[in-house]
Amino acid sequence: MAKEKILVIGASGQIGVELTLALRKIYGAANVVASDLREENELLKGSGPYVSLDVMNKEMLHVQVIRQNITQIYLLAAILSATGEKNPNLAWHLNMQGLLNVLDIAREEKLQKVYWPSSIAVFGPTSPKQLCPQQTIIEPITVYGISKYAGEFWCNYYHQRYGLDVRSIRYPGLISYKSAPGGGTTDYAVEIYSEALAEKKYKCFLRENTYLPMMYMPDAIRATMELMDAPADNISVRTSYNISGMSFSPTEIAASIQKLIPEFKLSCVPDYRQKIADSWPQSIDDAIAAKDWGWKPAYDLDRMTNDMLENLMKAPKEI
Ligand code: NAD
Ligand code: AKB
């Protein structure tokens, strides 16, 4: 394997912590530089280099890329769907300019690869609800979804025009126990587990029958690594790949938890996030990711529930 030096931007976030740790296992701790605007996450401390970095400061970002001899960037800094609706201008600004800064520097410095995640939030009310295909009607109604869709086309543009090897996945809602989620519509499916253990009840901000595409974090990390490891010739999608894990509703995740905590009670009081959830598909068709780089999820709902509760019981986290 060629000598790689990786910069992870947004490393203290829900995905960043686990992705940084996974990359350090493969590339060596010293070769994966974690960076974030906020302080280093506790789980990252002592595991490898960390720099404080604002992706909006292009000059400083450029300096770090040169100073650290960076060959690959994983850009995770973004404002997610629910927080984005509270401050649309800020969400657009960070999600777009942050990406353009990274793409520009990657082109100028001829970096080997860039990773940037998109989301199922690109889809809107006019997209198919079931097994939503890779290519379909895409009319997002959130600023987050609009920024992700525009970002996908910038990635494609930099690949087509400058030959930049930029790769992307449309993650479903991600569920994890190591670090807290950052303001998404799917965050309920993380909170529900810690509340089930602590309170034996959970008040959900979505209606009980709201089905959404979801994925357990170990699958998402593996998908990211598999996509980034795939031969460039296999990558037929340079916007962003659909991937699928599972699809469930608040009632179904509660029933899965009740198998282990029978007294657990779910109540539902929908808020502004219901409209966002209603605009997204309920399940995703990932046939192209399966064909191009062999994507296959490992976790279903019950397997994830067992693992989440077991790990949260061992070490309750900030979630
Ligand atoms: P998160 O909010 O947990 O983490 C984002 C991190 O970026 C935070 O630690 C934040 O401090 C940092 N950040 C914010 N502004 C920054 C700046 N200006 N400079 C540097 N760092 C900055 O988000 P996440 O859930 O880890 O998501 C990571 C990426 O994956 C995002 O692009 C998100 O849209 C995408 N995604 C996430 C999910 C999910 O369910 N978590 C699903 C689909 C797509
Ligand atoms: C959110 O709910 O905003 C994220 C996502 C699906 O992109 N989890």
One domain for residues 184 and 223 = no
Q: Which domain holds residue 122?
A: 6-171+217-242
Ligand nearest to the CA of 220: 1
Render pLDDT for 170-224 as a digit per residue (tens, 0 to 9).
999 999 999 999 899 999 999 999 999 999 999 999 999 999 999 999 999 999 9
One domain for residues 98 and 231 = yes
One domain for residues 210 and 277 = yes
**Domain CATH code at residue 89:** 3.40.50.720
270, 274, 277, 278 alpha-carbon torsion, rounded to 10°: 120
One domain for residues 253 and 152 = no
14 Cβ below 6 A of ligand 2: no
Residue 172 DSSP label? -
Report the run of H or E that residue 244 belongs to, with start and end. none
Task: Indicate whether 111 belongs to any domain.
Answer: yes
One domain for residues 135 and 15 = yes
Taking the C-alpha atoms of residue 286 and residue 298, their distance in angstroms, rounded to an integer, is: 14
**Which positions are catalytic?**
144
- pLDDT for 317 equals 53
Task: Indicate whether 1 belongs to any domain.
Answer: no
One domain for residues 198 and 293 = yes
Render pLDDT for 18-60 as a digit per residue (tens, 0 to 9).
999 999 999 999 999 999 999 999 999 999 999 999 999 999 9
Report how many domains make up the chain: 2
One domain for residues 164 and 310 = no
Helices H / strands E in the chain, number of each: 11, 14
One domain for residues 140 and 270 = no
Report the run of H or E that residue 266 belongs to, with start and end. strand 265-268
This prediction's pTM: 0.97
Alpha helices in the chain (DSSP H): 14-27, 58-67, 81-86, 88-108, 143-162, 188-198, 217-229, 250-258, 273-279, 287-293, 301-314
Task: Indicate whether 156 belongs to any domain.
Answer: yes
81 Cβ below 6 A of ligand 1: no
First to last CA, the chain: 37
Task: Indicate whether 159 belongs to any domain.
Answer: yes
One domain for residues 224 and 164 = yes
Render pLDDT for 57-104 as a digit per residue (tens, 0 to 9).
999 999 999 999 999 999 999 999 999 999 999 999 999 999 999 999
Angle at 303 between CA 202 and CA 128, to 5 degrees: 75
Compute the distance from residue 75 Cα to the ligand 1 centre, in Å: 8
Task: Indicate whether 193 belongs to any domain.
Answer: yes
Task: Indicate whether 319 belongs to any domain.
Answer: no
185 Cβ below 6 A of ligand 2: yes
15 Cβ below 6 A of ligand 2: no
Q: Which residues pair with 295 in a beta bridge?
A: none
Query: Which residue out of 37, 40, 122, 179 has the highest number of ligand 1 atoms within 8 Å of its CB and is therefore the one to mutate?
Result: 37
Residue type, 9: I
Taking the C-alpha atoms of residue 163 and residue 43, their distance in angstroms, rounded to an integer, is: 36
**Mean pLDDT, residues 142-167 taken together:** 98
Task: Indicate whether 252 belongs to any domain.
Answer: yes
Phi-psi region of 154 (alpha: psi -120 to 50; beta: other; left: phi over 0): alpha
One domain for residues 24 and 125 = yes
Compute the distance from residue 12 Cα to the ligand 1 centre, in Å: 8
Give me the half-sphere count of Cα atoms (radius 13 Å) on the Cβ side of residue 205.
17
One domain for residues 104 and 131 = yes
Task: Indicate whether 275 belongs to any domain.
Answer: yes
Compute the distance from residue 109 Cα to the ligand 2 centre, in Å: 31
One domain for residues 192 and 260 = yes
What are 116's two structure tokens? 């940037």
119 Cβ below 6 A of ligand 2: yes
**Domain CATH code at residue 259:** 3.90.25.10
